[in-house]
Structure 1
């Protein structure tokens, strides 16, 4: 397996182990195994895992967590806001729509392979933004596996064939948000530095940081807000599939954002560290 593929697979395994529902279940298993020799400590670990499993399957908890993340996404851009952006001296000159996955089922017709629900929602909002602003569109998303079509290719087909929205750039090499930013910058710079960035609100804070580090100046165009100020029903506290999914998204974005910040801080500190090491070597015999 090529090193890049191996690193990607390792990252996916780490995500699986660190995120709910696997992480709380793993704690329960560790606690039960440890209770054979250390009953008290094992029961404590298993109980913590059980509590976390219940909390991270509650929709109310997930909505609260993801609402905290969405605070960094900015406000949704309506028609009035978009037209005001176009009137500014530093107006955006392109739209970037980020992929969120694909779906394949050989039984489906006419397209067995298509964007999944997340990607379709982003494409629909991105098409509307493009129709309001008239700006050119870039779609970004690589192949989920070697035998499948790139996400960007499927997004382009949906935009052009179903939504009458032309696509100028197709970025089909990226595997994650950092790759979206890096490869999009490669296509857009230097002509298009100021962009409208379209993705879900929970994904926007991490995406903004990635695109800024890639040398672009993104303006958030978020949609699909999942955080709510209060539960719609007391049943929202109970474990549910929607609760598991919402908590997974919140944990994924929270840990991903911390990872990006840590890497940025490390990259900023690396030159000074290298210089200190080099100076230290001069004092060695």
Structure 2
């Protein structure tokens, strides 16, 4: 009887133990299937306008991804932060700017997706047409190599100057070969070009800086950069460190950006001043 009783109690104990383990495993599986670990992606931006990214972020939340904006004021900062690992991605520059930065700093930052093409514009609070510029007027342009060269090419397209064609997309002020109005080209940090309008006759301002200053490029610029095949180097991008180019989370960020929903927000917020580049030039 003692042996039978002992065996019976052992069997009951074993049954309870197995049942308990089975119950816990089931609970764990159920929890794992309903709980998605959230990931935060630090995104470097320049400028105050985040309407488009806010829309993208709303979609990413369903993917378990949260965007944390890290805002910078100068073009020299976001790539340095990305290369140092202080942020995960940035979205502020065109491909030509990135290529130049990599060459100058020995960094390996790559584009993982196209965003928009934002035409460069000439602005003035003193005139309505570039033809009104007079002898010796001052014209401000960005002082970095890529945007400065782009600004000079824009002034050439507007018929104001001519530059050495051998310099391709990177002419400097010293490469001006014809300047009939003897315009004085004033080179400023890009973030200062809009603020300089009260001191100069006209200023070449990057689209994002112009929008932050309250301008609508398509209506307020006295001359706007044409968009054609030569615009490809100036397509804005989402950038990552080379080793993270295929990161699944970052690719989801790109996919969430390159949607019809984003196109609607771009068109509404930029009033046609920014063009969805992935629809024109490809996804990257």
The verdict on a shared fold, with TM-score over 0.5 as the criterion, is: no
Q: Which has the higher strand share?
A: 2
Q: Which has the higher helix share?
A: 1
**TM-score under structure 2 normalisation?**
0.31
Of structures 1 and 2, the larger Rg is shown by 2
